[in-house]
């Protein structure tokens, strides 16, 4: 067994290729099995617990609850229509100031595949 975590178990444990498509799971680099694809795992909950333990960071994590704009200007994401929509759809979630809302950021992705384009998402 190599140092890499095996994602396939049971009857697929010792296979080197996908049983459906036949593609290799590893690429041989100087007789060492290197996976062709790697699953990155970021354990989110332990990191959030550490952030809430730190006084300064925990105050920033609940800042949105007490500091919303009252004049209708969007000065923070908490004032946006999307945030208000989440508040309306899930009121129990919105009632807790320590509820964490995550966003997905994809920087530099070109959705149309044009290599010469300077535009990206």
d(Cα 100, Cα 94) in Å, to the nearest integer? 10
pLDDT confidence bin for 88, thresholds 50/70/90: very high
Who contacts 86 (Cβ-Cβ below 8 Å, separation ≥6)?
93, 94, 101
Same domain, 28 and 54: no
- Asked whether residue 81 carries a pLDDT value surpassing 50, the answer given is yes
Is 119 within the bounds of a domain? no
Query: DSSP E strands: which ranges in the chain?
Result: 26-29, 32-35
Q: Please check whether residues 34 and 52 belong to one and the same domain.
A: no
Domain count for the chain = 2
pLDDT in tens, 18-29: 888 888 888 876
Same domain, 21 and 58: no
CA separation for the pair 121, 111 (Å, rounded) = 7
- Mean of pLDDT over the chain: 78
12: left (phi over 0), alpha (psi -120 to 50) or beta: alpha
Residue 23 structural domain = 1-41
- For the segment 32-79, what is each residue's pLDDT rounded down to a tens digit? 778 777 777 788 899 989 989 999 998 888 888 888 878 878 878 888
Integer Cα distance of 73 and 79 in angstroms: 7
């Amino acid at each position: 067994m190599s140092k890499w975590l095996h994602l396939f178990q049971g009857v697929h444990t010792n296979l080197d290729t996908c049983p459906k498509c036949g593609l290799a799971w590893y690429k041989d680099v100087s007789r060492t099995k290197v996976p062709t694809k790697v699953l990155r795992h970021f354990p989110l909950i332990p990191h959030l617990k550490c952030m809430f333990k730190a006084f300064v960071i925990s105050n920033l994590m609940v800042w949105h609850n007490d500091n919303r704009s009252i004049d209708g200007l969007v000065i923070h994401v908490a004032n946006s229509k999307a945030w208000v929509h989440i508040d309306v759809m899930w009121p129990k979630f919105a009632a807790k100031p320590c509820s964490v809302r995550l966003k997905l950021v994809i920087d530099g992705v070109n959705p149309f595949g044009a290599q010469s384009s300077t535009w990206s998402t």
